[in-house]
Amino acid sequence: MKRGHLAWAAVLVLVLAYPVIFLDSPVYQRMGALVLLAAIGASAWNIVGGYAGQVSVGHAVFFGIGAYASVTGFAHFELPPIAGAPVGMALSVGLAALIGVPTLRLSGHYFSMATIAVGELVRVLSSTSDWLGGAQGLGGPAMPRSVMDLSFLTALPYYYIFLAVLAALLGLTWWMERSRMGFYLRAIKDSERAARSLGVSAGRYKLYAYMLSAAFTSLAGSLYLCITGFVDPESGFGILISVKMLVMAALGGAGQLFGPLVGALILVPLEELSNSLLGGKGAGITFMVYGAIIVIVARFLPSGLLSLFAPKPRVAAPQSKPPQSTPPQSTPVSGHAD
């Protein structure tokens, strides 16, 4: 017991002291901040994609809304970008309700496809709006006007801000896990039909998860705008953003509290370091490695890396059972969850 506590304490100290340990390496400080930002996005996705089992491949919609809300607040109203964050979150929750009601009825692949379509639709539409900067995008404050602009030279302040947000998000998720909602979501994820038959209003809880997830994804987008200072339709709403959130959560372990963080801890440094080491030659080896690692994890650890540490279920005495004929998560071909 004590050793476990000591280990956790050591990890906590390490996490808190990380930017100070790397005080003379802005690159590593930034990498830490980027890991945390990615973890926020992936953890937000995890709420609806991991816990509720609704695999959204269009979450960039909310990310982009958060980023654009922040940047338009600056570009059109001279507000500090962070002021746009609550606006973005409100808009995202509203949009999630709007999209969620019709699409959450769909099951499995159909829901995923619908989220892709909506995501692409929003991306194309955003490039036609001059107020959003059109295809050129919009830039945040070129030089910080005050601390509130959150435009810092080193990544150290970002690290702590992102850490605080991530801690809050994970805390909220942890509480949700143990709450009634978490219980219902697990039931829905396991078998929606069974859950409904037991009186769980699946539609309502899926929608709550979706809206909560949207809010924090939007916050991640606003924070992204603060550290990067620019957004355009591709970097705000691009499908790669949606997929990266998903991949990080899945790699670490979807539906697990720390899954997304583990995924981010692996994929973000991987991307940054391999680009730094190999990118200059321009051969794209960075992403070949990235892709290969994802394939290997999917192949050998389909439930994510954290499943390596999950307690192994007790094996019952062998019985003569016919082999499973269909995978447990097969999608009813009708397309509707029933």
d(C-alpha 221, C-alpha 208), whole Å: 20
Shortest spacing between CB 163 and other proteins, in angstroms: 19
Minimum CB–partner distance for residue 98 and other proteins (Å): 12
In the complex, minimum distance from the CB of residue 155 to other proteins, in angstroms, rounded to a whole number:
8
- Give the residue with the Cβ less far from other proteins, 280 or 311: 280
Supply the DSSP string of 164-209, one letter for each residue.
HHHHHHHHHHHHHHHSHHHHHHHHHHH-HHHHHHTT--HHHHHHHH
Instruction: Record the tokens describing residue 44, joined without a space.
Output: 């937000």
Write the DSSP string, 69-112. HHHHHHHHH---GGGHHHHHHHHHHHHHHHHHHHHTTB-HHHHH
- Cα–chain-centroid distance for residue 287? 20
Nearest residue (CB) to other proteins, 49 versus 182:
49
Cβ closer to other proteins: 102 or 313? 102
Q: What minimum distance in Å lies between the beta carbon of 228 and other proteins? A: 5
Query: With contact defined as beta carbons under 8 Å apart, do 241 and 60 qualify?
Result: yes
Q: Which is nearer to other proteins, 79 or 289 (CB)?
A: 289
By C-beta, is 126 or 218 nearer to other proteins? 126
Q: Using CA atoms, how far apart are residues 157 and 331, in angstroms rounded to an integer?
A: 46
CB-side neighbour CA atoms (13 Å) of 329? 9
Work out how close the CB of 111 gets to other proteins at its nearest, in angstroms, rounded to a whole number. 9
